[in-house]
Every structure is written in C-alpha cells, then in structure tokens.
Structure 1
Amino acid sequence: MANPNNQANFFVRYLSLAPVLAVISVSVAFSTWAVFNYFFPDLLFHPLP
C-alpha cells in the first residue's frame, strides 16, 4: 500500500504550485523562442517572403 506522505507525493504537489508552474512555462517559452530564432532568424520579423 502506498504511503500518501511519501517524497514523490510532496514533489508532485510542489511542482503544481503556481510560481513553479510560472517559472517552468516561461523557461519553456523562452527556450522554444531561442531555438526557433536560432534556426529561423528572419521568420520572427519577416514572416512573409
């Protein structure tokens, strides 16, 4: 039987906090933008040919 007070349960509850979710989502968004900008630098400012 699983213990409800184990470390994994607390870690999942910590990851679901709003500030943690905000930092993760901003990091993912910036990383996506940086990778996209590295491979396609002109598409962000000139999307039409």
Structure 2
Amino acid sequence: MKKQHGSMIRFALVRLGSLMEKVSKLESYQQMKRWKKRYMLIWI
C-alpha cells in the first residue's frame, strides 16, 4: 500500500511538472509576441 502511495505522489509530481512546463512555454511565447510587436513598432 505504501509503495502504491509513493508512485501516486510521483505520478502527480510528474503531471504537475509537465503542466508547469506548458504554462512557462505559453508565457514565453506570449512574451515573444509582445516583443515582436514592440520591435515592429520601433522599425516602422
């Protein structure tokens, strides 16, 4: 039972980690878009 519980926690941590990675990727993508917009405004 204890072993199963440990694997459950590990699984949850892995899921959380992948979710955080997705969120950070999305945030960096949005920041890139924002920077692109700024650069476009500067260049025009």
Q: How many equivalent pairs are there?
A: 29
Q: TM-score, normalised by structure 2?
A: 0.53
Unaligned runs of 5+ residues in structure 2 are: 1-7, 37-44
Unaligned ranges ≥5, structure 1: 1-12, 42-49
- CA-atom RMSD in angstroms: 2.7
Residue identity over aligned pairs, in percent, reads 7
Structure with more contact order per residue of length (Cα contacts < 8 Å, sep ≥ 6): 1
Point out the structure with the larger helix share: 2
Pairing partner for 1:39 from 22, 34, 37:
34
